[in-house]
Amino acid sequence: MKLTNLFSHIKSDSNAQIKQSKENPSTAPASPKQAEAKVTDRVELSTGSLDVQKIKEVLTETPDIRTEKVQALKEQIEQGTYSVDSRKVADKMLISLLSDNI
């Protein structure tokens, strides 16, 4: 399937701006260059996307490994004082399993 010349009727933004100014002479710029200079792009971000950007910044600043925590756990394991509460582990496993099925 050939798609050439499918959108030949669509004009660019600068042409549209010039065309508008020709239709309304009271707001017409003195030259096409001035018409192009007045055309500006603008982006408005929603608050949700701004929040996502802030979260990304915080995550990039947060280290992947908390070395203090790892060192403390290593010391507890070496000393034999590290203990695991099997009930808490089982509870978290069940919660994870149930939340995956919902």
Whether residue 6 lies inside any domain: the answer is no
Whether residue 76 lies inside any domain: the answer is yes
When divided into structural domains, the chain yields a total of: 1
Comparing 55 with 11, the larger pLDDT belongs to: 55
The pLDDT value recorded for residue 45 is 78
DSSP string, the chain: ---TTTTTTPPPHHHHHHHHHHH-GGG--SSHHHHHHH--------HHHHHHHHHHHHHHHS-SS-HHHHHHHHHHHHHT-----HHHHHHHHHHHHHHHH-
Whether residue 85 lies inside any domain: the answer is yes
Per-residue pLDDT reduced to its tens digit, 23-63: 455 555 556 666 566 777 888 878 888 899 999 999 999 88
Whether residue 81 lies inside any domain: the answer is yes
Whether residue 90 lies inside any domain: the answer is yes
The pLDDT value recorded for residue 17 is 45
pLDDT-wise least confident of 7-11, 61-65, 89-93:
7-11
Which residues form the domain of 78?
47-101
Whether residue 4 lies inside any domain: the answer is no
Whether residue 19 lies inside any domain: the answer is no
Whether residue 73 lies inside any domain: the answer is yes
Question: What's the predicted TM-score (pTM) here?
Answer: 0.36
